[in-house]
Amino acid sequence: MKSSITPNQIKQNNRKLIYQYIYQKRKVSQQDIAYDLHLSRPTVATNISTLEQEGLIQKCGQIDTEYVGRKAAAYSIVSDFRISLGVEILKKEIKIIAVDLNGEKIGRTVYEIAYENSETYIQTVCDKIIQFKDTLSVTDEQILGIGFAMQALISPDKKTVLYGKILDCTGLSIHAFAKHLSYPCFFVHDAESAAISEMWISPELTDAFYLSISKHLGAAIICNGKILDGKHGHSSTIEHITMEPDGQMCYCGKKGCMETLCSLESLLTDSETLEDFFEHLHQEEVTYTSRWKRFLTDLARSINTLHLVYDTDFILGGYIAPFLTDKDLDFLHQEVCHMTPFPEANDFIQISKMPKHNIAIGAALPYIQEFLDTINGAVALSS
């Protein structure tokens, strides 16, 4: 049967196109919209007027137009028309961030609350989220949802923790949090939320192996602009690949996993911070230089193993990212070249472009992305 587009669908499509164009360009005139989108001036004027009335866009001064040659009224999106929250659940603390429609931070806080598998803990976390929300001066309607980044594997429907050995939270349901909060909620694996942030900041990134090197090691595979979850939700759990069968004990109960070689827990001593370590390293103290060389060599071995499976760019993210240098990348490339059986290019290992707050922001971004893809918030508002 032949399907045809109804006038209402055309109207909705134009509205979405115009909003997304203003979003991308940040500040535009009606004339620029009409010319660039090949829409009539009256169509653009009607849509602009509706979007403005709904509160989705606003006038913001004047702008030189490319097509008229004089100043015209400029429009931009209302960046806090909708916002989203990201919560990073860690062993000793929770980090909460709020982002606007541009994915920019509009508030952030950290509470020292030690994780425990109890109703009291969940209630305390939810109370803190509400307390934080109240400092933002936003209405409930503005909040699209809350993403919870977990150091755990998450079910494909994002509702259940499949494997949470670090926090001992296996089996935890999103409902435990959602029942105290009046917003949609979902879980996301922390390495995945870090990769989501990376894709947001680098829209050209369509394929990559993202390694999150923080206290623990995690990874996410980006393929065709999407993150691979896998059949059962445990793709890219590379941290438990055995590298040394008689090596250090991993938290998973097995020995010599990649985690025991390439995480910060493996690099640093109990009382040491990353800042301490790199300060000694920059002073070229021998023990630190040799520890760093050992770490990078093990990281190169791990990258080589993964690169043999998936020939793509490797992005090094996590807490370690701001400390990595071009010299470290050269060393990694060189080591991988020595280990790989065939000639290898020196161009596939990169440092994350977004090392700060990436996990919490990445947990908030899927709601923002969904809103921008559909622009359904305003429809819901006006219905």
Choice between 267 and 361, CB closer to Zn ion: 267
Considering only the stretches 36-44, 93-101, 252-260, 286-294, report the one whose residues sit in contact with Zn ion under the rule CB under 5 A.
252-260
For residue 252, the minimal CB distance to Zn ion (Å) is 3
Considering the rule CB under 5 A, would residue 238 count as an interface residue with Zn ion? no
For residue 238, the minimal CB distance to Zn ion (Å) is 10
Considering the rule CB under 5 A, would residue 241 count as an interface residue with Zn ion? no
Choice between 82 and 240, CB closer to Zn ion: 240
Considering only the stretches 11-19, 206-214, 246-254, 313-321, report the one whose residues sit in contact with Zn ion under the rule CB under 5 A.
246-254
C-beta separation of 67 from 31 below 8 A: yes
Please give the angle made by the CA atoms of 227, 230 and 235, to the nearest 5 degrees.
Answer: 75
Considering the rule CB under 5 A, would residue 250 count as an interface residue with Zn ion? yes
For residue 257, the minimal CB distance to Zn ion (Å) is 3
How many chain residues bind Zn ion (CB under 5 A)?
Answer: 5
Choice between 95 and 240, CB closer to Zn ion: 240
For residue 165, the minimal CB distance to Zn ion (Å) is 8
Choice between 178 and 238, CB closer to Zn ion: 238
Q: Count CA within 13 A, CB hemisphere, residue 256.
A: 6
Choice between 88 and 239, CB closer to Zn ion: 239
Considering the rule CB under 5 A, would residue 240 count as an interface residue with Zn ion? yes
For residue 250, the minimal CB distance to Zn ion (Å) is 3
Based on the number of CB atoms within 10 Å of its own CB, is 287 exposed (0-12), middle (13-18) or buried (19 or more)? exposed
What residues have CB less than 8 Å from 145, skipping those under 6 apart?
84, 85, 183, 184, 185, 186, 367
Choice between 27 and 254, CB closer to Zn ion: 254
Choice between 106 and 167, CB closer to Zn ion: 167
Considering the rule CB under 5 A, would residue 257 count as an interface residue with Zn ion? yes
Considering the rule CB under 5 A, would residue 162 count as an interface residue with Zn ion? no
Please pick, from the candidates 167, 223, 243, 252, the single residue that binds Zn ion as defined by CB under 5 A: 252
Considering the rule CB under 5 A, would residue 243 count as an interface residue with Zn ion? no
Identify residues 336-375 at the interface with Zn ion (CB under 5 A): none
Considering only the stretches 60-68, 124-132, 133-141, 232-240, report the one whose residues sit in contact with Zn ion under the rule CB under 5 A.
232-240
Binding interface with Zn ion (CB under 5 A): 240, 250, 252, 254, 257
